[in-house]
Chain A
Amino acid sequence: MKHIDLIKLINENKELLDRAYKQDIITNVDEALLDINLFIKIHDNYKLNQHYLNFVDSLLNRIDYTIIFGDYEKEYKELTKLKKRFIEKKSEYYKISIIKLIEKLYIKFQNRDREIRFLILRLENETSMDIDLLIESATDTLEKIYELIDASEKIGQFFRTELREIDEDIETLLQSISVQMLEFIQNIDKYIKQINHFIVQTKNRRIQNKRFMKIANKIINEDVLSFEEYILTNHKRLYFNFKATKRNLIRFYANDNDLIKLNKNLRTVFENFIIKKAVKKSVIKVQEVEKLNIIDIQKIKKDLDEKRSDDLFLFIKKHNELEAFQGNKLIEESFKVYLSLLEESNIEYLKDFNDDGIKVVSWV
């Protein structure tokens, strides 16, 4: 039978397959479906083949808690054997077998990753199962995932080291899947943490439910001493329901007119009061003396008269009156002094500009 014929056969029997999938009792099945082993007879009834159920459940993300992940030991042994033979004989047949097996393992890793993800999702969204059973199922799942750590790492290691550089095509395939493979392996740790967290949360929920039951039973049996004691001791921060008492009920709120009336009345009451104005004791804050760097321009002028200069700006910049400044601040302050001296009569403008980009002026 061809694949297309199988699809046709499934389509022709879709109603029956759907009933069987939904656990309906099936007592009569077309011979063709039995020939391809899609149905298996058990006692008087016909059941769907587990392979078909696995395939459908996997596509529909319906992962059962009883799922067995298994390891990759068979594939690992086969891969080791194929590698050895390929190295010895360099046959294309072994190369293709290795590539097929790598692809098969990659798909297996991917499916497993997806199955674990959906299994965790199912656990987290479970609301119909008994809470104790859910904790047991989660613990079982956790154990199964723990078993995968070594098995996955073994394959990952084999791909990373043993199969490298034996053939160009194998190398290309391994490189193309390496990042994703590493992610699948690292995801296992993430899933373990997630399930552990879920188990702790569910156990806390179970404890909380039991506590509610315990206190409720005590209240029913009027064994309420410790409960009442706690409520009364903490009344200042416990919820107080106003509705229970009429004394504290706020019946209405002041509207704008009420407030105007109230203000008016208050003014009448208070207008006869003489309020002495308090003498303000002002504290006068002492002005802090700002420390300034004052440049003695007269001294610079005196030195200029004595020594002369071909570049006024440079002379000012190097003068010890400006030694307190550095960098841009030095340029800035020197320029201020330079500007103030340009008014003097004994200067002569030259054509050049100095290294600081300032017009060269000589002091004559």
Chain B
Amino acid sequence: MGLEEVFKVLSKGVMVSIHSQKYLDVAKFLMIDENFDETYELLKKIGYQLNGENGYFYISKLEGMNESELNSFLNNHKNIIICIAILKQLFPYLDRGHLLSKSDFIVKVKEKDDEALDQKLAYLFNTTDAMKVTDSFFDLLEKSYVIEKRSNDSRDEHLVLSSIEYYYKIIESVA
């Protein structure tokens, strides 16, 4: 793993968590101070900032955004915060390292039978079909690097990544 490969991953907007199976090499590379500094300098030259926080790495944009970037930037944050709020309602002890499964998720949603919860899911997805909602929910969290499907496991298991703490920080600052 070298700077080029790390740059390829980060420039695609990946939020790299230290216990991600998929991006373990990238995380290991960035955990070395010299590598982090070198990548930081490189990204700074093209207008981005490399951030390394409590167990995760990501890129932020130093320059202003155009309208479409701005909308997507805001919506992305809003959607993920609603997703985590739903997860916290269903699994109050959820944190990084927690294992989630789609089957547990469906069972919990049914058990709760909560109108406010349905409202949140309806806000995120244009369907009421439980399977579709669940698939879309997990897909959104996976694409945002908050959870990761266990690659060597045939069971329906998703690992909650360290990057969830990024949203904890936002919530603490806003609420």
**A interface residues, Cβ below 8 angstroms from B:** 126-127, 130-131, 205-206, 208-209, 211-217, 219-220, 224, 226-228, 230-232, 234-245, 247-248, 250, 253
Contacts and interface: CB of A to CB of B under 8 A. Distances in A.
Contact of A240 (B4, B8, B61, B86): B61
A243 to B, nearest CB: 5
Given A130-B92, A242-B12, A212 B84 contact: yes
Nearest to B47: A248
Contact of B72 (A205, A224, A236, A244): A244
Contact of B68 (A130, A240, A245): A245
Contact of A241 (B73, B84, B172): B73
B175 interface: yes
Given A212-B171, A226-B174, A253 B73 contact: no
A214 B123 contact: no
Nearest to A242: B13
A206 B69 CA distance: 34
A228 B74 contact: yes
B12 A220 contact: no
Secondary structure call for the B interface: helix
A159 to B, nearest CB: 42
Nearest to B8: A253
Contact of A239 (B11, B15, B74, B120): B15
Given A228-B74, A241-B13, A244-B13, 9 more contacts: A219-B82, A232-B70, A235-B65, A236-B60, A239-B60, A241-B72, A243-B13, A247-B66, A250-B11
B119 interface: yes
Contacts, number: 123
B91 interface: yes
B36 interface: no
A224 B79 CA distance: 12
B32 interface: no
Contacts of B127: none
Interface in B136-175: 143-144, 166, 168, 170-175
Interface in B1-26: 4, 8, 11-13, 15
Given A209-B92, A212-B84, A213-B88, A240 B48 contact: yes
12 contacts: A213-B88, A226-B174, A231-B73, A234-B173, A235-B65, A236-B49, A238-B77, A239-B60, A240-B61, A241-B13, A245-B68, A245-B69
B51 interface: yes
B89 interface: yes
Contacts of B12: 242-243, 250
Given A208-B171, A220-B123, A213 B85 contact: yes
A214 B82 CA distance: 10
B81 interface: yes
Given A205-B93, A241-B73, A253-B8, A214 B175 contact: yes
Interface in B87-128: 88-89, 91-93, 95, 116, 119-120, 123
A242 B145 CA distance: 13
Contacts of B49: 236-237
Contacts of B173: 230, 234
B30 interface: no
A235 B172 contact: no
Contact of B170 (A127, A206, A217, A230): A230
Most buried by A among B15, B48, B174: B174
Most buried by B among A232, A241, A245: A241
Nearest to A206: B92
Nearest to A128: B93
Given A216-B82, A216-B120, A239-B166, A244 B73 contact: yes
Contacts of B27: none
A213 B12 CA distance: 30
A209 B77 CA distance: 17
Contact of B116 (A127, A206, A209, A217): A217
A244 B69 contact: yes
A126 B91 CA distance: 11
